[in-house]
Chains A and B, each alone.
Chain A
Amino acid sequence: MAEPPIAERSAGGRLFRRGARRVRRTVVRRRRLFTYLAILGPGMITANAGNDAGGIATFASVGADFGYRLLWILIPITISLGIVQEMSARMGAVTGKGLADLIRERFGVRWTALVMLSLLIANGGITVSEFVGIAAATELFGVPRFVSVPLAAISIWWLVVKGTYQRVERVFLLMSLVFLGYIVSAFLARPDWGTVAAEIVRPSFSFDHFYLFTFLAIVGTTISPYMQVFVQSSVVEKGVTAEDYPRTRTDVWVGTVFAMMIAFFIVVSTAATLHQYGIRVDSAEDAARALRPLAGANAETLFAIGLFGASMLAAGVLPLATAYSISEALGFEKGVSRSFREAPIFLGTFTFLVAVGAAIAVIPNLPLIRVLLVTQVINGLLLPVTLFAILRLINDRELMGAYVNGRLYNLGAWLTTILVTALSLLFIVITLFPGLNPV
């Protein structure tokens, strides 16, 4: 072969020349910064999304109404939440598909319709609770809800559809960090730590309607059906595979424990500040009082900021996530960049949820905190549907291969599902027949 006329790409020669200077013949791994940080995420974010308006209201009520008595629930529920979230994350990593996808592909149309309907109702309920949270937060600033809620709904709709929501999202996320203040507040309130410690490990139970109601609200706000869908989708989105799954598992568990820690401190601080004086949480002002040890007179402002941020965040993300799940399961065009003509189901679901959520939240004289609790109860009631689907999928060897549940794990998961189902049924029975008291 003749010498090439132009010194075009005679890479071999060049390599030889430069070899002396800097080329290493071995393949150098170029390290990517933040690979670890990038993968640490879905579990943490999802678990803490649980501490939204409904979550704050629920745990504040728990502390105010029952003092430390219900603290013991937090440990088993942390374990249950961890197990459920971990299963969903694992399914995402192993199959690379969302929960809605899997339900559709394995169980067919009828099951999909049932699960999607319950998801729509549950998420619709939570969306209402987020707008209620917005209403409560802005009313603390003296802005009436019939002004703030429609404004919030329109701006959320606009931001999401115009695709700029992500940038605003961070602001809301930062605002919701205020709730970390409950941790400080709990310490400043000087609770009786001895009692706290004792109540954590001493289970109590009652067939009292209000007790069951609160119990179910805790379950509903902690293990919400959307969280499983959410964590699985984000694991898929992040491109986590079966091989790099262990990191995600750590992330899920750390996130779960962290989220429940915050819940714990909310209960402790409200118990120490409100229950002590027999104050019940009926409004956002009451819930804000638990921050007084930290912020004094500014407690309300601080609480309002946190509540507003958390609620705005979830009021955008939840309807969007629901619209994604439903379009995904039914196989329709999805994505906020589509027009109404291209993706009617996707944008329709999103718009519907935002509109209904806002519409219910502006109803005058709505007992805000009560509504928040009721939506969490609805969540708890619908949870078994999702849990059964998850359990069937995770133990499907054809789907999960070697990644099916272990025996002990299955025991925990089934126990959670059965207990939640039993609790839901018991609550329905007691609601329908108030006179009936099994004890």
Chain B
Amino acid sequence: MLYLSQVLSRPIRDLEGERVATVKDVIVRLGDDDHPPVTGLVARYRRRDFFVPRWTITELNEQGVRLNSDILDLRPFVRREGEVLLARDVLDKQLIDVDGKRVVRVNDVQIIHAAGEWRVTGADVSLQGLWRRLAPAGFLGARKPVEVIDWADVGYLATDAATVQLKSSSDKLARLHPVEIARLAEALSYHHGSEVVESLDDETAAETLEEMPSETQARILGDMDEERAADILEWMSPDEAADVLGDLPEEKAEELFGLMEHEEQAEVAELLPYEDDTAGGLMTTEFVTLPRDLSVGEALARLREMAETPNMIYYLYVVEREGSWRLLGVIALRSLILADPAVPLAEVMRTEYQTAHPDDPAKETAQRMAEYNLLALPVVDEAGDILGIITVDDAMEILIPNDWRQRLPRLFS
């Protein structure tokens, strides 16, 4: 086993054992391999950098490098697509460890020689890795346990080299819960955080964004390619999408809004006029309404047939007739399942229930939901029409104080 720090600045010797240059960097090709292979070295000789291809290297170890020829090609080094320089792009940089669900800094890189190839197997993140680079070789305490992250678990490499993003990285990240992806992305600098979100597929990106503060959402979407941003907005729940659009500069918001598909656009449009701190600003338009003359059995059948079932179906809202919005009663999913299938909805629905007006203050509304232990609260206008519902997760966000929600204390504010 070899560490990058043990190779850097070591001499490169030719076939005769003559010292011809020193190792400046190790080049690795990122691809589908879990453990990317070394494809060459950047050698330094008299302040010039040149490329030493893999096939000329016969030895690579703590003593240095041995080449299989006497002839050195002194062409200057140029980085190729998909190539990473370990010292420049990986060492001291941050990466996302998918297995440990954390952001770590690379203290050293582990290289293993197997089957005729040198491969990057892991990133050393332990104190030991630092010590190896600080203290002279053989200095006391050199044999303490190291903590190495398997390269196969590297979900994202926070480096500025544009072409090096790991192909499979977004798949690895997608294994995590959106809440975790959001937390990890926020731990990185804002450039890299945006890059993480952009690397995800539209649906995961939307879910991840929803877990971030709306200012961050707006910044990430605002900096993104407009078509892509609109695609992600479509996947977001309408109330979240409306919040983000509200946070964006007017021009940008209108542009993104215009690029959205008609159906999602219409849903978002309904929510836009409401102020943030009102019940209307809190509500979403995803809910289920059923006409009163439907039987319990028919209602259940419809729920099953529904192509896109809204997330919140614990309450079903009973309206006068098909296509009407006039709210008459509320049925909890539980009562629906337990009721006799032949009975019409009108007989099992509750007619005494809590509602909110769209202009009610958000905080009071949320408090009322907590008081009555409601999972959702319908928002009804003066005419008695249901406009949307407020779900418990959005209400929680209002009620729980800011500093409690943050994992890390806002130390500097």
Beta-carbon contact of A15 and B266 below 8 Å: yes
Asked if A339 lies at the interface with its beta carbon under 8 angstroms from chain B, I say no
The CA-CA distance from A109 to B324 in the complex, in Å, is: 68
> How far, in angstroms, from A76 to B273 measured CA to CA in the complex?
52
Are A237's CB and B310's CB within 8 A? no
Contact B245 A8 (CB under 8 A): no
* In the complex, B219 has a CB within 8 A of chain A: yes
**A24 nearest CB neighbor, chain B only:** B273
CA distance A95 to B272 in the complex (A): 33
Nearest chain B CB to A247's CB is how many angstroms away? 14
B410 touches A166 (CB 8 A): yes
Query: Knowing A9-B267, A239-B190, A321-B411 touch, does A331 contact B104 (C-beta < 8 A)?
Result: yes
Q: B121-154 interface mask toward A, CB cutoff 8 Å, 1 = contact, 0 = none?
A: 0000101001001100000000000000000000
Determine which residue in B104, B246, B249, B269 has the highest number of CB atoms from chain A within 10 A of its CB, and name it.
B269
A349 to chain B, nearest CB (A): 13
Cα–Cα distance between A128 and B289 once the two chains are bound (Å)? 66
Do A22 and B273 form a contact, CB below 8 Å, given A6-B288, A165-B409, A331-B107?
yes
Within 8 A of B (CB), among A274-297: none
Q: How far is the CA of A384 from the CA of B215 in the complex (A)?
A: 37
Contact A8 B253 (CB under 8 A): no
B231 at the interface (CB under 8 A from A): no
Known contacts being A27-B257, A97-B189, is A239 close to B323, with CB within 8 Å?
no
A109-B102 contact given A15-B266, A24-B272, A321-B411, CB 8 Å threshold: no
B407 to chain A, nearest CB (A): 6
Inside 8 A of B34's CB, which chain A residues have their CB? none
Residues of A within 8 A of B189 (CB): 95-97, 101, 236
B262, A12: Cβ atoms under 8 Å?
yes
Residues of B within 8 A of A8 (CB): 288-289, 306, 308, 310
Q: Check if B410 sits within 8 Å of A104, measured CB to CB.
A: no
- Whether, in the assembled complex, A407 has its beta carbon less than 8 Å from a beta carbon of chain B, the answer is no
Complex contact B105–A9 (CB within 8 A):
no
Contact of B102 among A95, A239, A333 (CB under 8 A): A333
Chain B 233-282 residues near chain A, CB threshold 8 A: 243, 245-250, 253-254, 257, 262-263, 266-267, 269-270, 272-273, 275-276, 281
Query: A236 vs B262: C-alpha distance in the bound complex, in angstroms?
Result: 37
A5 to B306 alpha-carbon distance, docked (Å): 9
For the complex formed, measure the closest distance between the CB of B402 and the CB atoms of chain A, giving whole angstroms. Answer: 10
CB <8 Å contact, B411 and A11: no
Rank and list the top 3 A-B pairs by shortest CB-CB distance, nearest first. Answer: A331-B105, A96-B189, A234-B412
18 contacts between A and B (CB under 8 A): A6-B302, A8-B310, A9-B267, A9-B286, A10-B323, A11-B266, A27-B257, A30-B247, A30-B281, A95-B191, A96-B190, A108-B91, A166-B403, A237-B410, A239-B190, A241-B190, A330-B130, A337-B409
Contact partner, A7, options B106, B249, B322, B408, Cβ 8 Å: B322
Q: Which of A5-32 contact B (CB under 8 A)?
A: 5-15, 17-18, 22-30, 32
Please tell me if the beta carbons of B263 and A30 are within 8 angstroms of each other in the complex: no
B413 neighbours in A (Cβ, 8 Å): 41-42, 45, 234, 237-238
Q: Are A30 and B92 in contact (CB under 8 A)?
A: no
Q: Once bound together, how far apart are the Cα atoms of A335 and B408, in whole Å?
A: 6
Task: Kindly list 16 other residue pairs between chains A and B, CB separation below 8 angstroms, not including A8-B306, A15-B270, A333-B102.
Answer: A7-B289, A7-B319, A7-B325, A9-B267, A12-B263, A26-B254, A29-B246, A29-B248, A30-B246, A32-B247, A96-B189, A233-B412, A324-B411, A330-B105, A331-B107, A337-B407
A residues in contact with B110, CB < 8 Å: none
Q: Is the CB of B323 within 8 A of A7?
A: yes
Which residues of A330-368 are within 8 A (CB) of B?
Answer: 330-333, 335-337, 345
Which of A13, A15, A166, A239 contacts B409 (CB under 8 A)? Answer: A166
User: Which chain A residues in 109-135 approach chain B with CB under 8 Å?
Assistant: 109-110, 113
Q: How far is the CA of A27 from the CA of B94 in the complex (A)?
A: 39
Kindly list chain A residues whose C-beta atoms are within 8 Å of the C-beta of B216.
239
Chain A residues positioned under 8 Å from B54 (CB to CB):
none
Among B306-324, those with CB < 8 Å from A are: 306, 308, 310, 319, 322-324
| B93 adjacent to chain A (CB < 8 Å) | yes
Chain A residues within an 8 Å CB radius of B221: none
Contact with B along A164-191 (1 / 0, CB 8 A): 0110000000000000000000000000
- Tell me the complex Cα distance, A13–B127, Å: 62
Q: Mark B166-191, 1 if CB is under 8 A from A, else 0.
A: 00000000000000000000000111
Binding site for A on B (CB under 8 A): 91-94, 102, 104-107, 125, 127, 130, 133-134, 160, 189-193, 213, 215-216, 219, 243, 245-250, 253-254, 257, 262-263, 266-267, 269-270, 272-273, 275-276, 281, 285-286, 288-291, 302, 305-306, 308, 310, 319, 322-325, 387, 403, 407-413
How far apart are the CA atoms of A320 and B262 in the complex, in Å?
51
Q: How far is the CB of A34 from chain B (nearest CB, A)?
A: 12
Cβ-neighbour of B290 out of A6, A108, A330, A332 (below 8 A): A6
CB distance from B85 to the nearest CB of A (A): 14
Give the CA-CA distance A385 to B168 in the complex, in Å.
41
Say yes or no for A317: interface residue by CB 8 A criterion.
yes
Max chain B CB contacts within 10 Å: which of A5, A23, A321? A5
Q: Are A23 and B269 in contact (CB under 8 A)?
A: yes
Q: Give the chain B neighbours of A29 by CB distance below 8 A.
A: 246, 248-250, 253
Q: Tell which of A10, A14, A234, A398 has the most Cβ of chain B within 10 Å.
A: A14
Give chain A nearest CB distance to B163 CB in angstroms.
Answer: 15
Q: Which residue of B lies closest to A230 (CB)?
A: B412
B408 close to A239 (CB less than 8 A): no
Tell yes or no: A246 within 8 A of B by CB.
Answer: no
Instruction: State the CA gap A25–B160 with chains docked (Å).
Output: 41
Q: In the bound complex, how far is the Cα of B272 from the Cα of A90, in angstroms? A: 35
Query: In the assembled complex, how far is the CB of residue B247 from the closest CB belonging to chain A, in whole angstroms?
Result: 7
A208 at the interface (CB under 8 A from B): no
* A163 CB within 8 Å of chain B: yes
User: Which residue of chain A lies nearest to B408 when distances are taken between CB atoms in the complex?
Assistant: A335
CA gap between A24 and B246 in the complex, in Å: 14
CA distance A199 to B130 in the complex (A): 52
- A163 surroundings in chain B (CB, below 8 A): 409
How far is B397's CA from A197's CA once the two chains are assembled, in angstroms? Answer: 55
What's the least CB distance linking A242 to chain B, in Å? 10
B270-A14 in contact (CB<8A): yes
Q: Which of A96, A236, A238 has the most CB of B within 10 A?
A: A96
Report the minimum CB–CB distance from B276 to chain A (whole Å).
5
Residue in A23, A32, A234 whose CB lies within 8 Å of B276: A32
Contact between B323 and A331, CB atoms less than 8 A apart: no
Residues of A within 8 A of B253 (CB): 27, 29
Given contacts A5-B305, A110-B134, contact A105 B93 (CB under 8 A): yes
Could you tell me the distance between the alpha carbons of A290 and B225 in the complex, rounded to whole angstroms? 61
B134 surroundings in chain A (CB, below 8 A): 109-110, 113
